Structure 1
Amino acid sequence: MRFTLFVIMALAIALGLGGWSARWALDQSAEIGTVAVGPWFANPTAGAPDADPYSKARLAKVGNLTLGLGEGVQFTADRDASGRPLRRECQYKVVGEAPAARVWTIAPYSQEGRLLQPGSGRVAWLTSNNLMRAEDNSFAIAVGPLARAGNWLATSGTGPLVLALSLYDTPVSAASGVANVVLPELTLEKCLDG
């Protein structure tokens, strides 16, 4: 009886520590293969068959599909240009020009990688095909819960926010490099809680 209890206890500790260490390894390895462009981050090889095992495990954990090497690249931002964490209850401005791409999208996500639904009658993402632009082809997108004239990407609720800028059919890739790419600026305007 004591031996059985000892074995059960040893298995419980081993499984608990094993699960904790696997989660810790995934969280600590987020920077492997990642490049930064201002507040935007991308892992251009995440969708490749020979991607590192940590990238594959993170994608499997979230359950989202990623872009393959020949399809494009996705940049995400969870902080503004000043390094403050993005929040759903705050108003942000995304200004600039996107790099060369046939089509690109920008969408709000939770930290767990789930698309945030902004509420009835509002769009969950914007695409380069339906964006209003200035004469020099630049754009400005308001991101936040308050309706705005022009390009507005609605958010709802409270809590952390991650913006995803996906470039499809683009020369920006792991092979050509993403370090010299210029991406739109992401700045805080105000937060509704003060």
Structure 2
Amino acid sequence: MRFLLASLLAIAIALGLGGWTAKLAIDGGTNFDAVELGPWTASPLAGTRAADPYAKARLAKLAQLTLGGGEGIVFHAEEDDQGRRLLLQCSYRLEGGTPAARFFTLSAHSDAGRVDLPQAGRPGWLTSNSLLRKEDNSFEIAVGPEPRSGNWLATNLTGPYRLTFALYDTPASAITGAAGLTMPSIQREGCRDDG
């Protein structure tokens, strides 16, 4: 009887510890193939058969569709250039250029994964075909709750979030990798709570 109880206890501990560490790896965002460009991170192999099992499990959990190996690449940013967490109540300026792509989208997502739609009538994303650019093809995008002239990605509510920058039909994919690319900088300009 003692052997049976010890065996059941060992199995329960093994299953509990194994499940907890697997959940930690999936929720923690462990990416073995991650490419980092400043505050931006991408997993070029996420939509391919070569993706690691944790990336596949994370995408299945979030119910996200991925881009295929030659279709494009998706970058995420959860911090600004100074390493501070992105907050919905703060205003940011994205500045620079985009890697070569036929089309791109920029959107803001809460930690739950939903698009944080702002005031009525304002979408929670920008697309490359509606972006105002400078003469040298660079751009500035204001991100935050306060209305701004020019390119403005509106957010609302409070708390942490992430920016998603999806490049479609681009050489920066799983096939060629993201080496040599530059992504826009993310600078915090202020927060509503700063007073």
Same fold (TM over 0.5): yes
Q: How many equivalent residue pairs?
A: 194
Aligned-residue offset at 1:17: 3.1
Contact between 1:42 and 1:76, CA under 8 Å: does it hold in 2?
Answer: yes
Aligned-residue offset at 1:136: 1.5
CA distance in 1, matches of 2:121, 2:151: 15
Partner of 2:38: 38
Partner of 1:94: 94
Aligned-residue offset at 1:28: 5.1
Partner of 1:48: 48
Contact between 1:97 and 1:183, CA under 8 Å: does it hold in 2?
Answer: yes
Contact between 1:90 and 1:191, CA under 8 Å: does it hold in 2?
Answer: yes
Contact between 1:37 and 1:179, CA under 8 Å: does it hold in 2?
Answer: no
CA distance in 1, matches of 2:29, 2:76: 16
Q: Within 5 A, what are the aligned runs for 1:58-137?
A: 58-137=58-137
Q: What SS does the corresponding residue of 1:189 show, helix, strand or coil?
A: strand
Matched, 1:140 2:155: no
Aligned-residue offset at 1:22: 1.4
CA RMSD of aligned residues (A): 2.2
Cα distance 1:192–1:48, how it changes in 2: closer, same or farther (>3 A)? same
Partner of 1:191: 191
Partner of 2:163: 163
Q: What SS does the corresponding residue of 1:134 show, helix, strand or coil?
A: coil
CA distance in 2, matches of 1:21, 1:190: 37
Identity score, percent:
53
CA distance in 1, matches of 2:144, 2:12: 45
Q: Deviations over 1:143-163 (max 9, x none)?
A: 000011111101010111100
Q: What SS does the corresponding residue of 2:193 show, helix, strand or coil?
A: coil
Contact between 2:104 and 2:127, CA under 8 Å: does it hold in 1?
Answer: yes
CA distance in 1, matches of 2:16, 2:112: 22
Aligned-residue offset at 1:68: 1.1
Cα distance 1:152–1:28, how it changes in 2: closer, same or farther (>3 A)? closer
Unaligned runs of 5+ in 2: none
CA distance in 2, matches of 1:118, 1:5: 56
Q: Output the TM-score relative to the length of structure 1.
A: 0.90
Q: Output the TM-score relative to the length of structure 2.
A: 0.90
The range that moved more, 59-68 or 9-18, is 9-18
The range that moved more, 68-77 or 4-13, is 4-13
Q: What SS does the corresponding residue of 2:17 show, helix, strand or coil?
A: helix
Cα distance 1:160–1:29, how it changes in 2: closer, same or farther (>3 A)? closer
